[in-house]
Amino acid sequence: MFEIREKPSMVERAMLVSICLPGDNVHEKQAMLDELEDLVSNLGIGIVRKELVRTRDVHAKFLCGTGKAEEVRMAAIAAEADCVVFDNMLAPSQQREWERLIDVCVIDREEIILDIFAKRARTREATMQVELARMQYSLPRMARMWAHLDRQGGGSGGGKGGGGASRGEGEKQIEVDRRLARARIESIQKDLEEVRKQRSTQRKERERQGVPTAAIVGYTNAGKSSLLRLVAEADVLAQNILFATLDTTTRKIELPDGQPLLLTDTVGFIRNLPHRLVETFKSTLEEAVLADFLIQVVDASDPEALRHFETTLEVLAELGAADKPMVAVFNKTDLIPDEERASVIETLTAAVGIPVVPMSVVREQGADSLMNACVDMLSHRVVSRTYRIPLSRSDIIAAMHRDGKVVSTEYDGNDALVTATLPKSFAQKIASYAEPGGEH
């Protein structure tokens, strides 16, 4: 068929390669090669060797020159690798050239990420989004998938002349598969458009109710789902693996000032996240675009924490959400050595330039500070003051308890003096009952 091949059942020993092009930062390329090791390991493939290949010029055929390419081939043979994984994004023609040269399966970073997403997808929406991205990736690579039929030599003869077919079997199969793939892509896109409409309807209902929203964003495996589990006491999947969450999960919580808040977990980001994944997951990631503010979770114990923070900002910019109000949660502080913790947090805080909450979700430390930070983020939405409500208007008093946080209630004859923190929209409706000078 025309799906990406199932690598884990085909290969066991992978050599990882990163081609360092002119202008690339060597330190960052090495960090990404280490990150690729985590990605490949998540597919159950063993790593037998890692190579950082530096090149002075960009070459169309292999990215690097033929001499460097030959060195990669020899290294793969020496390591007895049955697969070579490139951290670079390879064009279909480059992938074919590398496979001809090395004679083993060649995969790039995008294909690895797509395979991980395919393993993690649980809901119908996530499955469709991943399938769409995989189809779009596979479409220009179909010649590579069926080349073996043409190499077997000619088509089947017809009639007494025994003449071969004018085109190879592989070429015929490619045309069939391309038609099927394009039809499937169109079908999935229509289904996802229906999902987007449903999400839009749900959001409009939330907006009608006036409940503020916050989206939890951040680098993959920073602890986003674990954070939602902690603060919302939610039954949310939280695992110490890359891209454990591909689906949004929304939970309603109450902040210390009585405001309700809808918290939404989102898919994790990663450096060089394929653009097609950002596009296909747009309906899911729109939760971040439309939220009132963002909570970016950062693994503060990771040496690359600041780069991960910046990567998240880059993806948010691609989504049009770069200017959203944001609070940073520096998670996993328990993994930082005691003698370094204060210095690390101080350095990161100075670098990010937004409100910061240090936390250890696994130790349940810092949740109260985060809730107070959320109150600050929404301070413009509420009013705290005292109201004189006639006891005959018990409906208003009940609504104040339901929609806000009542701090105190005193009685003065036939009136109740109610001090409360209320949403501005509600406070405006009962402004005529406000006590003069009763604002807090």
CATH number at residue 365: 3.40.50.300
- The Cα 331–Cα 91 span in angstroms is 37
Question: Is 267 annotated as ligand-binding?
Answer: yes
- Would you state the pLDDT for residue 359? 97
Flag whether 332 is marked binding. yes
How many domains does the chain fold into? 4
Q: What is the mean pLDDT of residues 209-222?
A: 88
Question: Would you say 246 is a known binding-site residue?
Answer: yes
Is 67 annotated as belonging to a binding site? Answer: no
What's the pLDDT tens digit per position in 78-128?
999 999 999 999 999 999 999 999 999 999 999 998 888 888 777 788 888
Give residue 242's pLDDT: 54
- Mean pLDDT, to the nearest integer, of 72-76? 97
Q: What percent of the chain has pLDDT over 70?
A: 86
Q: Write the DSSP assignment of 247-277 as a string of letters.
A: S-EEEEEE-TTS-EEEEEE-PPB-TT--HHH
Residues 52 and 190 placed together within one structural domain of the fold: no
Together in a domain, 280 and 424:
no
Same domain, yes or no: 271 and 402: no
State residue 430's pLDDT score: 95
Give pLDDT, residue 149.
41
Q: Is 150 annotated as a binding residue?
A: no
Short-list 348, 363, 241, CA closest to 296 = 348
220 is in an annotated binding site: yes
User: Would you state the pLDDT for residue 153?
Assistant: 45
What is the torsion angle, in degrees rounded to the nearest 10, for the CA atoms of residue 146, residue 149, residue 153 and residue 154?
Answer: -90
Q: Is 160 domain-assigned?
A: no
Contact between 301 and 346 under an 8 Å Cβ cutoff? The reply is no
Q: Is 219 annotated as a binding residue?
A: yes
N-terminal to C-terminal alpha carbon distance within the chain: 67
Domain assignment present for 156: no
Check whether 29 is labelled as a binding-site residue: no
Q: What pLDDT, in 10s, does the model give residues 347-360?
A: 999 999 999 999 99
Ligand-binding annotation for 333, yes or no, is yes
Is 119 within any annotated ligand binding site? no
CA–CA separation, 232 and 331 (whole Å): 17
* Band (438; pLDDT cuts 50, 70, 90): low
Dist. CA 415–CA 142, nearest whole Å: 77
153 is in an annotated binding site: no
- 292 annotated as belonging to a binding site for a ligand: no
pLDDT of residue 9: 54
* Helices 124-138 + 282-290 axis angle, to 10: 120
State residue 145's pLDDT score: 56
Query: What distance in Å separates the CA atoms of residue 216 and residue 225, rounded to the nearest whole number?
Result: 8
230 assigned to a ligand binding site: no
How many CA atoms within 13 Å lie on the side-chain side of 395? 1
Same domain, 264 and 395: no
Same domain, 236 and 309: yes
| 164, part of any domain | no
CATH of the domain at 429: 3.30.70.240
Q: HEC states along 198-235?
A: HHHHHHHHHHHHCCCEEEEEEECCCCHHHHHHHHHCCC
**Residues 89 and 38 placed together within one structural domain of the fold:** yes
CA distance 97 to 91: 10
Query: Do 72 and 132 fall into the same domain?
Result: no
Instruction: List, for residues 327-384, the tens digit of each pLDDT value.
Output: 999 999 999 999 999 999 999 999 999 999 999 999 999 999 999 999 999 988 888 8
Per-residue model confidence as pLDDT tens digits over 136-153: 898 888 765 554 444 444
Nearest CA to 356 out of 225, 366, 365, 364 is that of 366
Of 94-108, 175-189, 245-259, least confident by mean pLDDT is 245-259
Mean pLDDT score across all residues of the chain: 85
Tell me whether residue 162 is in a domain: no
In which domain, by residue range, is 92 found?
Answer: 7-119
Same-domain pairing of 63 and 182? no
Q: Are 165 and 155 in contact (CB under 8 A)?
A: yes
Residue 2 lies in a domain: no
Which has more confidence, 235 or 185?
185
- How many other CB atoms sit within 10 Å of the CB of residue 173? 16
Q: Is the pLDDT of residue 186 over 50?
A: yes
**Does the pLDDT value for residue 235 go beyond 60?**
no
pLDDT band at 154 (very low <50, low <70, confident <90, very high): very low
**At residue 161, does pLDDT exceed 50?**
no
Whether 23 has a binding-site annotation, put simply, is: no
The secondary structure of residue 154, as a DSSP letter, is: S
Cα 386 from Cα 419, distance rounded (Å):
4
Q: Cβ-count burial of 235 within 10 angstroms (0-12 exposed, 13-18 middle, 19+ buried)?
A: exposed
Same domain, 15 and 99: yes
- β-pair type (415-423, 405-412): antiparallel
Residue 239 lies in a domain: yes
Phi and psi torsions of 224, nearest 5°? -65, -50
Question: Are the C-beta atoms of 212 and 259 separated by less than 8 Å?
Answer: yes
Q: What is the CATH number of the domain that holds 67?
A: 3.40.50.11060
In a shared domain, residues 225 and 299: yes
Q: Any idea which of 160-164, 287-291, 295-299 has the lowest mean pLDDT?
A: 160-164
pLDDT category of residue 425 using cuts at 50, 70 and 90: confident
Contact present, 424 and 412 (Cβ < 8 Å): no
- Which of 119, 136, 160 is a domain's end point? 119
- Does residue 157 fall inside a structural domain? no
Closest to 355 (Cα-Cα) out of 328, 321, 319, 383: 328
CA separation (Å) from 375 to 93, 214, 263, 368, 378? Answer: 53, 11, 13, 11, 5
CB < 8 Å & 24+ apart, contacts of 70-76:
70/101, 72/17, 72/102, 73/101, 73/102, 75/15, 75/49, 75/51, 76/15, 76/49, 76/102, 76/104
- Are 76 and 197 within one domain? no
pTM of the model: 0.77
Q: In the prediction, which pLDDT does 163 show?
A: 43
Identify the residue with better confidence: 184 or 330.
Answer: 330
Residues 292 and 401 in one domain: no
Indicate if the pLDDT at residue 278 is higher than 50.
yes
pLDDT category at 10 given cuts 50, 70, 90 is low
Query: Is 161 a domain residue?
Result: no
Residue 266, annotated ligand binder? yes
Q: Residue 423: its pLDDT value, please?
A: 85
Helical spans, DSSP H, in 104-141:
109-120, 124-138
